[in-house]
Structure 1
């Protein structure tokens, strides 16, 4: 075999190897694209499943709150009303009048609490108004000093998003009341150009943020609730320096 033939054979072999490499590369690229597509579909399916579970949990919780609200309003409310009437009819002077007034105050607060946890009452009430009512209720109870401020120009929000945002803040407030030993709470609603920012801050005992999942008080579920409305939620806390919740809801 002469030198020209050898060179031709080498070129053919190199060309074949090059074509094989190209084919392998193309097949590998197609395989990786399909693999990545399947992974993305799997991730999206998992997110949809988690979203559906979270929505179901919230619906169950809202239904439970609705039932509790009805029980408070219909049953316990009627008992307190009857007790107030009886106290007013008993001859006991100023002492019985004070008892009747105390029962009446308790009845008013019970009705306010019933409205605060009833999803149907919240449906016709904006986030701003719901937070105003909640802050006013806590100030009446004198557990702590609650302040509320509204910044920016309010814009209409999706009703479902408003309920979720309110429930998140309400959960934070409940935790403050039960565990923080705080003397003050401040809630700020700030309508920015592209987002709504809701901030709640207490001056309580605080806790280590890394142990949030171990609190067992609902705070660990805040992220899941926020994800349902494409919002972000961040809780920062330092032992002895209080706790802060920052909710950011994008405005379309």
Structure 2
């Protein structure tokens, strides 16, 4: 992801121009390495604190780079950077040991082996770049890390066993050999990355090619330098400059990654918010649909069923009492207009008309009279006006639907001969009871009126009321609906 961004920036540069810039930097470094001893012959500056600082910063930068490369390998590079990650980790650890050691054989040995570890990581890129990573390569970062720690501890703990690395102020062949070999490995790694860049065009390949080239030149200068001399200091600064170049690349990529992650997080939060809003809208639609189904079932359908019963009664009256039949038909037509108004209100998405206590009582009387007249099924009204007045409009509307559904079930299913509708105040609650003496049913088994009773339970939940049904075969049915009312008391 990060490489893609930087590749977009370097992709417009022609290969010839890019090679010219890199080659020019390499030549300039070589020229400086040759010219400095001529300009400053015999110059020495033994400054251990500055040297320790440079090596510590370089070592930590190498360790950080190794960790970054391991992460890149885990993401998408199919193991390509595994050897180089191990090389950076081993080189960084040995450089830190080198920074804290005192000048002497161990001091030089740690620096030489650090270069060798780094060069080995770059040189092995010829193996991993084939795309067929050997199982042994996967363990290389951990082997190099463990080996570097062991070498660093051994060098500091047992200096008497170390080979001679400096004699008469000059590096011995033992000191120069690892550096020379490391220089060749760095140049080999640089060539591998240049070839990869010509194939892939990725900016990270040209970056590491340049990095390996600079490291190789630095190691080459070490071969012809003396401790604390101008060329010796120059290659230290060259290595540090190379590390800063890499860290700049990594830091830029990190900032780009953080920016993308922040944008992704914002997009995710926006998507989650939109999802919650959609979920809430869907829930609202489903709740509205459920309420509509309940109101249609308990209101319009029950009213339509009552009209059917009245029409059947009028049909029976026509031969015997035509005048009464006409009167009944007129009543049906008036009630049909009310049903049509209810249907239009539902279609328009309007809430049902809410009732007050007195309107609710009148509705109950009309409903009971209609059922008695059309079906010869008397329901005894036992309504306390005080209880009715305690009802809110929403509660009164829901209780009207409950009574309609209950009486409809009594007419259609129970074959009852009588019933009761009671509304009373009991111990701080308004209690509605609807009973009949019909066939009843088994509450454990499925029955025809289950949808209507489910609607009653849903209405109770919406109002925070208590709902209960008692019924047994041949023992009738009793429906209880209790609504708590603060400050209300039963009358003596």
**Unaligned segments of structure 2, at least 5 residues:** 1-278, 312-317, 343-350, 487-492
C-alpha displacement of 1:132: 1.9
2:325 maps to which residue?
Answer: 102
Whether contact under 8 Å (1:181, 1:204) holds in the other structure is: yes
CA distance in structure 1 between the aligned counterparts of 2:409 and 2:336, rounded to whole angstroms:
16
2:432 corresponds in structure 1 to 198
CA distance in 2, matches of 1:183, 1:132: 18
- Cα distance in 1 between the residues matched to 2:383 and 2:319: 42
Provide the secondary structure at the position in 1 that maps to 2:441: coil
Residue 226 (1) aligns with residue 442 (2): no
CA 213–251 in structure 1, closer or farther in 2 if over 3 Å, else same: farther
Q: Pick one of 35, 42, 58 that aligns with 2:291.
A: 58
**CA distance, structure 2, for counterparts of residue 67 and residue 219 of structure 1:** 15
| CA displacement at 1:131 relative to structure 2 | 1.5
- Higher Cα Rg: structure 1 or 2? 2
Distance 1:51 1:221 in 2: 18
Question: What residue in structure 2 maps to residue 134 of structure 1?
Answer: 367
- Output one character per residue of 1:11-44: Cα deviation in whole Å (capped at 9) or x when no partner: xxxxxxxxxxxxxxxxxxxxxxxxxxxxxxxxxx
Normalization by structure 2: what TM-score?
0.32
Q: How does 1:209-248 map to 2 (within 5 A)?
A: 209-211=443-445, 215-248=449-482
Residue 145 to residue 237, structure 1, CA distance change in 2 (3 Å): same
Q: Cα distance 1:53–1:168, how it changes in 2: closer, same or farther (>3 A)?
A: farther
1:194–1:251 CA contact under 8 A, matched in 2: yes
Distance 1:114 1:67 in 2: 14
1:153 is aligned to 2:386: yes
CA distance in 2 between partners of 1:151 and 1:168 (Å) = 17
Q: Which string of whole-angstrom CA distances, capped at 9 and with x for unpartnered residues, describes residues 193-242 of structure 1?
A: 52110001000001111225774442232111111111111111010000
Once the two structures are TM-superposed, the CA of residue 101 in structure 1 deviates from its matched residue by: 3.4
Q: How does 1:33-112 map to 2 (within 5 A)?
A: 53-62=286-295, 98-112=321-335
* Higher-strand-fraction structure: 1
Number of equivalent positions = 186
Q: Is the 8 A contact 2:302 2:405 kept in 1?
A: no
| TM superposition shift of 1:191 | 2.2
How far apart, CA to CA, are the structure 2 residues paired with 1:178 and 1:66?
16
Residue ranges of structure 1 left out of the alignment (5+ in a row): 1-45, 74-79, 81-94
Q: Name the SS for the 2:444 alignment partner.
A: helix
Q: Residue 135 of structure 1 aligns to a residue in which SS?
A: helix
> Larger % of helix: which?
2
Check the 8 A contact 1:182/1:203 in 2, yes or no: yes
- Cα 1:172/1:99, change in 2 over 3 Å: same
Cα deviations by residue, 1:33-81 (Å, 9 ceiling, x for unpaired): xxxxxxxxxxxxx9xx9897445322355468569989x99xxxxxx9x
**Which residue of structure 2 aligns with residue 3 of structure 1?**
none
Question: 1:37 maps to what in 2?
Answer: none
SS of alignment partner, residue 149 of structure 1 = strand
Q: Per the alignment, in what secondary structure is the counterpart of residue 431 of structure 2? A: strand
Per-residue deviation, 1:142: 3.6
1:214 and 1:51, CA in 2 relative to 1: closer, same or farther beyond 3 A? farther
Sort the Cα spacing of 1:228 and 1:145 in 2 relative to 1 into closer, same or farther, 3 A: same
SS in 2 for 1:186: strand
The alpha carbon displacement at 1:121 in A equals 6.0
Aligned structure 1 segments of 4 or more residues deviating by more than 6 angstroms: 49-52, 66-70
User: Whole-Å Cα distance in 2 between the matches of residues 51 and 130 of structure 1?
Assistant: 30
Normalising by structure 1, what TM-score? 0.59
SS of 1:196's equivalent?
strand
Q: Which residue of 2 aligns with 1:164?
A: 398
1:175 and 2:409 are equivalent in the alignment: yes
Q: What is the aligned partner in structure 2 of residue 90 from structure 1?
A: none
- Equivalent residues of 1:199, 1:247 under 8 A apart: yes
Paired residues of 2:441 and 2:447 also in contact (CA < 8 A): no
Cα deviation, residue 161, structure 1: 1.4
SS in 2 for 1:144: coil
